[in-house]
Structure 1
Amino acid sequence: MKHDLPARACGIDFGTSNSTVGWLRPGQEPLIALEDDKITLPSVVFFNFEERRPVYGRLALHEYLEGYEGRLMRSLKSLLGSKLLKTETTVLGSAMPFKDILGLFLGQLKERAERLAGRPFEEVVLGRPVFFVDDDEKADQEAQDTLVEVAKKIGFKDVSFQYEPIAAAFDYERGIEREELVLIIDIGGGTSDFSLVRLAPERRQLDNRHSDILATGGVHVGGTDFDKQLSLASVMPLFGYGSRMKSAAFMPTSHHLNLATWHTINAVYAQKSQLALQSMRYDIVDTTGIDRLFKLIEQRAGHWLAMQVEESKIELTLAERRSLSLERIEPGLVAELSQTLLEEAIGPLLQRIESSVSRLLVDAGIRGEQIDTVFFTGGSSSVPALRNCITALLPNARQAEGNVFGSIGSGLAIEAKKRYG
């Protein structure tokens, strides 16, 4: 029978931090192991200068941290909808369009999935945030069109899309026993996306679920934004952020903002940036922080520092406090972090998320008390302050959560089987 055959198409969740590929097969879990036995491939490319080759995922991070000379690129999805996507960068000594770097990574997802499946994939359902770009329909459409172009260039012949939170809803629906009104909260690396969906066991097999999707919404705020604000609040002051100039003005912030943002870290290493910092040093009252910044730049430790901050954010979902050792930069240097500090740092971002969810409920004509379940997914959905601000809107909803990195990929695999057989 047709439903006992493996699906023709796969689903790809190209994430800001991690990516997955789902493929429905009888009797097996949907997600394909992409790196060793792990279902996620971190969305990272490292161009190894010594061996003149790109490496991906955990191996990319390992080679970078081991000190291989090269160029690390992460948060590639953040390029979609940005002006950078129409430009190029220098990689292994020659110019490469950012669009081609996206193609390298997506091609790697396709290649690994096909190798493990033992067959080619020509059709794909790609996940997409509700908004790649807030309040700009043209830029949002351009971002989706770019993904189509890249996907076809690497060999997919038919490319379609599903909203990421809708995909997560279909994954959650696999395990329910009665009808539920569910609010899907997907907090990814680059975006927060929400869907209000009516789910039921007897509706799983329906091809058209349009009437079950009551509302969708989202905002361009995600885990990398949390990391950035935590970095600026706790770590960057140790490197001169907020230093006073002799004129009593604050030191310009662009260098620290670049250093706290994954896809702009390399800008700090540019000669122009370093010369600007050196000329600025003479006008700073206390040079302790900027001198540490020079040490960090000399070691090209920006990505290392960003990883430490991200790890601290993850630990602060469970622990009240964390001491972050910066011994690599200076003996005895420590940044003290806490849940309270994280909550204060991301407070304005949480307000934007809360407003977006409130607006979605109004659009759907649904009161918060009517929601049966709030389903959390995405790598940053475990932040306590975020959960508190969402659950305060939904007093009767029970909390559920799926595989934080796998729900969307699984749901996209379900959608791919429905669309392509």
Structure 2
Amino acid sequence: MVSPVSAHACGIDFGTSNSTVGWLRPQHTTLLPLEEDKPTLPSVVFFNAEEDVVRFGRAGLQDYLDGYEGRLMRSLKSLLGSGLIDGVTEVQGRAIRFRDLLTQFIGTLKERAEAHAGRAFDQSVFGRPVHFVDDDTVADRLAETTLGEIACAVGFKEVSFQYEPIAAAFHYETSLAREEVVLVADIGGGTSDFSIVRLSPERARAADRWSDVLANDGIHIGGTDFDKQLSLAEAMPLLGHRSPLKSGREMPSSIYFNLATWHTINFAYTRQVWAEQQRLCLESTVPERMERLLALIRDRAGHWLAHQVEGVKIALSNQETAELSLARFSPGQQALITRSQFDVAAQALVEKIEGAVARLLPEAGVTASGIDTVFFTGGSSGIPLLRRRIAALFPQAKVVEGDLFGSIGAGLAVDAARRYGMA
């Protein structure tokens, strides 16, 4: 049922790991349900070969985890700004463009949001990271252009963009009673983005907010990078990574890097890779580990293992130890991983993110003591080491945790109402 007063446009947070759609309606929840009653749709596409259907979100991931034959695609947003976006991949014997995969997923977001809202959306504000691509303005601009073209292809007539941390700031601003200078730390699946913004109830009424945005910066590091480093440090050695061959050389690492990276896992399943790993198994000094690797390739269990690693990362945000299971391709095999091991694996990434935050202060013209609040959002902002190190840069500021998966979509809805109006 459409509210008598509602925004003309919606806000879309197309995320690396999860996506949301927000629509501003007084006395209504801002985020629209996208999968059953849940406001998030995991950014997952699964081509189910057995039933010849395409499934999205949790349903697609569950099909894969249940063992259906098919092709799983995750971290689709990572394709934007990369050379892969105009490439093709093979799915059930058919060549499919990566661009078309993104179009299918974003089209599904629009369809599900409209079905729940009971109306069509012709206009939308899309969130975007501060940098789709680090240190390459041409590729960054192309990534935004590509996303805009895809949005128009699925039926939007007018599309604009907002930096994701600024959108999160607008969501936080709806709760304020007085003015604050806020550092928004948005640690998502693919990027870490930061904004320093001056917020207040009075400023929220202004049509143009750019004078309140003191600085923006970001770095192309996010939750999937933490997954990758944890996988390389703790999971891949169980499959022979960094083990010696009989010749004294070390096992070639390319297959392990592909298996540890969500959007390159399928590269491990080619006939050429299979033949090469069989040969290396004969040369290995740890053949039992190589047998696990061969079993993973044979069972196409790479995404399953990546899902287990991601689960360990999430568990270690709330507890000191977690079990990593290899049961799908190596029954009975598991490893205990501690938070301190994760901290070691994450250290270099955390230092790079710290550097991006520190660079923001002189750009904004403020000191650390001038920050009133550090506002955390994004699913990966719950990583304890990362949160401690960022908060330590601003010892006088209060720390606020937003809706880790919904603040950006809700803030984009606020911005969409401001830009395109209410009726």
Report the TM range for the smaller structure's normalisation: over 0.9
Match for 1:255: what amino acid? I
- 3-state secondary structure, aligned to 1:67: coil
**Number of the residue aligned with 2:308:** 308
What code does the residue aligned with 1:349 have?
L
Say which is worse superposed, 82-91 or 217-226, in terms of deviation: 82-91
Aligned partner letter, 1:409: G
- What are the within-5 Å matches in structure 2 for residues 106-145 of structure 1? 106-145=106-145
Number of the residue aligned with 1:242: 242
Whole-Å separation in 2 of the counterparts to 1:372 and 1:276: 56
| Residue aligned with 2:139, SS | helix
Report if the CA contact (8 A) 1:222-1:380 is conserved.
yes
- TM-score, normalised via structure 1 length: 0.98
Aligned residue identity for 2:306: A
Q: TM (normalized to structure 2)?
A: 0.97
The amino acid that maps onto 2:198 is R
| 2:351 corresponding residue in structure 1 | 351
- Given residue 213 of structure 2, which amino acid in structure 1 is its aligned partner? I
Task: Give the corresponding residue for 1:400.
Answer: 400
Q: Does 1:205 align with 2:205?
A: yes
Query: In the alignment, which residue of structure 1 is the partner of 2:417?
Result: 417
Partner of 2:322: helix, strand, or coil?
A: strand
Question: 1-side partners of 2:190 and 2:287: how far apart?
Answer: 34
Q: Secondary structure at the match of 2:131?
A: coil
One-letter identity of the residue aligned with 1:53: V
SS in 2 for 1:381: helix
* Cα pair 1:379 1:405 within 8 Å, conserved: yes
How many residue pairs were aligned? 419
Mean Cα displacement is larger for which, 149-158 or 283-292? 283-292
CA distance in 2 between counterparts of 1:30 and 1:96 reads 34
Pair 1:89-2:79 in alignment: no
Counterpart residue number, 1:154: 154
Residue 337 (structure 1) aligns with = 337
Compute the displacement of 1:236 (Å). 0.7
Match in the other structure for 1:38:
38
Give the match's secondary structure for 2:379.
coil
Aligned residue identity for 1:32: L
Task: Describe the superposition over 1:111-163 as per-residue Cα deviations: whole angstroms up to 9, x where unpaired.
Answer: 00111111111101000000000000000011001001111111111010000
Q: Which residue of 1 aligns with 2:102?
A: 102
2:273 aligns with 273
2: CA distance, partners of 1:325 / 1:74:
21
Q: What residue is the counterpart of 1:387 in the other structure?
A: 387
Shift of 1:65: 1.1
Residue 47 of structure 2 aligns with which residue? 47
Q: Does the 8 Å CA contact 1:317/1:383 hold for their aligned counterparts? A: yes
Distance across 1 between alignment mates of 2:264 and 2:154: 26
Q: Which amino acid aligns with 1:354?
A: E
Distance of 2:293 and 2:338 partners within structure 1:
23
Deviates more, 1:107-116 or 1:85-94: 85-94
Q: What secondary structure sits across from 1:204 in the alignment? A: helix
**Is residue 218 of structure 2 the alignment partner of residue 218 of structure 1?**
yes
CA contact (8 A) 1:234 1:336 kept: no
SS of equivalent residue, structure 2 residue 45:
strand
Give SS of 1:162's match.
Answer: strand
Q: 2:317 corresponds to which letter in structure 1?
A: T
Q: Which amino acid letter does the alignment assign opposite residue 300 of structure 2?
A: R
State whether structure 2 residue 190 is matched by structure 1 residue 190.
Answer: yes
CA drift at 1:333: 1.5
Distance in 1, Cα, partners of 2:327 & 2:44? 26
Within-5 A mapping of 1:224-263: 224-263=224-263
Q: Which whole-Å CA distance do the structure 1 matches of 2:181 and 2:234 have between them?
A: 40
Which residue is 1:25 aligned to? Answer: 25
Give the C-alpha shift of residue 297 in structure 1: 1.3
| SS of equivalent residue, structure 1 residue 306 | helix
Aligned with 1:201: secondary structure?
Answer: coil
Give 4+ residue runs of structure 1 displaced > 3 Å after superposition: none
Cα distance between partner residues in 1 of 2:391 and 2:177 = 23
Q: Provide the secondary structure at the position in 2 that maps to 1:235.
A: helix
The 2-side partners of 1:127 and 1:29 are apart by 19
Aligned counterparts of 2:91 and 2:246: Cα–Cα separation in 1: 39
Cα deviations by residue, 1:255-291 (Å, 9 ceiling, x for unpaired): 0111111111111111111111112222222212111
Residue type at the aligned position of 1:194:
F
Shift of 1:367: 1.1
CA RMSD of aligned residues (A): 1.1
> Given residue 255 of structure 2, which amino acid in structure 1 is its aligned partner?
H
Q: How does 1:6-21 map to 2 (within 5 A)?
A: 6-21=6-21
> What is the aligned-residue identity percentage?
57
Partner of 2:180: 180
Distance in 2, Cα, partners of 1:326 & 1:162: 41
Secondary structure in 1 matching 2:318: coil
For 2:330 and 2:65, the matched residues in 1 are separated by 18
Q: CA deviation at 1:329?
A: 2.8
| CA deviations over 1:276-320 (Å, ceiling 9, x no partner) | 111222222221211110111122111111111101111101101
Q: Secondary structure at the match of 1:346?
A: helix
Distance in 1 between the 2:88 and 2:279 partners?
29
Q: What is the CA-CA distance between 1:76 and the residue it aligns to?
A: 0.3
Q: Name 1:71's counterpart in structure 2.
A: 71
1:244 partner amino acid: P
Measure how far apart 1:4 and its partner are. 6.4
2:202 counterpart SS class: helix
CA distance in 2, matches of 1:289, 1:242: 11
Q: Is the 8 A contact 1:23 1:30 kept in 2?
A: yes
For residue 55 of structure 1, give the secondary structure of its aligned residue in structure 2: strand
**Distance in structure 1 (CA, Å) of the matches to 2:96 and 2:339:** 41
Q: Which moved more, 1:138-147 or 1:241-250?
A: 241-250
Is the CA contact 1:52–1:92 (under 8 Å) kept in the aligned structure 2? no
Secondary structure of the residue aligned to 1:148 is: helix
Describe the SS at the equivalent of 1:26.
coil
CA distance in structure 2 between the partners assigned to 1:315 and 1:72 by the alignment: 23
